[in-house]
Structure 1
Amino acid sequence: MPYDLGATVRLTAECQDPAGALTTADTATVTVTLPGGGTAAPVAEETALGTGRYLADYVSSVPGRHTVRWVFTGPADAYTDSFDVRPLAPPTILSLADAKRHLKLPPGRSDRDDEIRGWTESITRGIEGMCGPVVVRTVEERHEARRARSIALHHTPALELTSVTSVQPGGTGYAVDDLDLDPDTGLVRRLDGGTLTGLLQFVYTAGRPIVSANITAAARIIVQHLWRTTQGPGRPQLGTGDFDVTEPIAGFGYAIPNRALQLLEPDRLPPGVG
């Protein structure tokens, strides 16, 4: 499971001799390669768990996929692994507490929290793939305008323009006060009726300040559906038809049951949009 940004990641490895026996190395080093390049080198120590077992603690500082490389000498051995770090605020439609209540898990039980958080993040991505941004976030995207009367932003609802700058040296940006943004269509126009020109970087806020009840209800149904798949075979339950799946969703397969699709129908994007 991914680690939260700022959490301490405990890295472990074993040093083995050519025969496969655990042994104490003359030297042990561990290098963490960061997602955007650069490295970190936490201190590796042999643990009290037994000969040849090593650990190092790394405090995460950037989100994304990290690669871990252990190298031992005397004897020569090596081990490579990886781990993920969540963004500072990953978008989720359901809170952990909301999901646990719907799954009827006791508030004090936390052994499955990371798994449930993983489900809520993936559910959010699936719903937003069908309905557009739900959780409010900042979006950055480029558009090449050639005397265009309007530019259509990719993500709607588009709530507010933050900036429109030129990517080209010597190019001209536009003050957001001189532009009109249609939240529903994402169309950006000049208030004076002029055209937009150049390779432009748009920074704007997209999402829904108020998440409608049908979207929240659909998210609860989907998390319950996915949770049931982890529980293994058991006694048949009444109402299992609510979790039937007949329509595959691009990028989400058969993970969204029919009842959730029906709830999301009023907010689904037209085909080819999004």
Structure 2
Amino acid sequence: MAATLLTKRYTVVTGANKGIGFETVRKLASKGIVVVLAARDEKRGLEALQKLQHMIGLLDHVVFHQLDTFKTQFRKLDILVNNAGTTGAIIDYHALIFTETYELTEECIQTNYCGAKRMADSLIPLLQLSDSPRIVNVSSYAGKSGCTHEFLKDFKEGYLETKGWPPHMSAAYRVSKTALNAYTIVLAKRYPSFVKTDMNNNNGALSLEEGAANLVRYLALLPNGGPSGLFFIQQEVSPF
């Protein structure tokens, strides 16, 4: 067991049953890294696991595991990818109906920010046992602080449609992503050594493969001493 821990790298990817999270799991596992596929819905998580395990060479590198027992089985963690997210709204793209409720707002904040923070806080002891630990918080341009302030102002004044804001982006989503960005900076200062989805109706500029490739190559697999606590748009560093 000790020898295995020294040679293998272990990753947890949340929100991994579909989209960028799924593709991130596939890419990391194809590099020989043991990946724990985490999903809020156990049935969907197991279905995603089965799909990945049928891919050549991934059978021994992807598992679906309850995170509360992760520590006893794996004993260390090298990479945490906080990818789980929700828009905080119900969107009917055909009828162009956007529904944002208190319950959806609460779920959005709990998933996008609170969930990522709880995950990082609980797994930091395991990350500290790694020679090259890394936390990747998957955020969004919508969380850029100035952008969020302007959005909230227009939201309050009823100018969202007039100003051309995307109809599928809730206020809670923007606020939760801004908070996540801020928490990323807090983590980087606290631990200096760390460093087209269905949510947008597949209207993104990049494919799932491109999105996950950027995440894996430029973030999750950066070497020791690489950049920390920064906001990336594709491969470029962007100010908050």
**TM-score band w.r.t. shorter chain:** under 0.3
TM-score by length of 2: 0.27
Structure with greater helix share of residues:
2
State which structure, 1 or 2, has the greater radius of gyration over its C-alpha atoms: 1
Q: Would you tell me which structure has more strand in proportion to its own residues? A: 1
Provide TM-score, normalisation by structure 1: 0.24
